Amino acid sequence: MLRRSLMFGFLAASLAAATGAQGASLSGTWRVSGVIHAGRVFFSASPVCTFRQSGGQIAGACTGPNATGPASGTVIGNRVSWNWSHVATTARGITSVTNFNGVVISSRMIRGTMTSPDLPGYAGAFTQVR
């Protein structure tokens, strides 16, 4: 009987966690901060992004200090994957795509890894807050 109660409690907690992750809306404005170190070369990203979420899809735009462009991606449970197609707006900016793969920590924070085709084989950490 104790085993059944423990299993029921675990199942209820798991369902509550899954519902919370799926119920969280990523729509809104987010500040992103991340760096990829590739030896002596590094790529940093610090855009402010505005997303709209429809089901498991997110779309919007990001503007950083040196680049701007559209962003789009997917949300599955508490996992988020999105791409920022940025165009340089200053001499320091980079025209490329940056990929973000993260986990929703709370309704106000996402953490994960970012990659860029300009630095193949390297990844860095990012934090996204609102």
Q: So what's the pLDDT on residue 119?
A: 85
Element (H, E) at 76: strand 67-76
Phi, psi of 74 (to 5 degrees): -130, 155
Q: Give mean pLDDT, residues 105-115.
A: 96
The type of residue at 7 is M
Sequence-distant (≥ 6) Cβ neighbours of residue 13 within 8 angstroms: none
The model's pTM = 0.81
pLDDT in tens, 9-44: 443 444 344 434 455 689 999 999 999 988 888 889
Residue 112: its H or E element: strand 109-115
**Residues 6 or more apart from 82 whose CB is under 8 A from it?**
51, 58, 71, 72, 73, 74, 99, 100
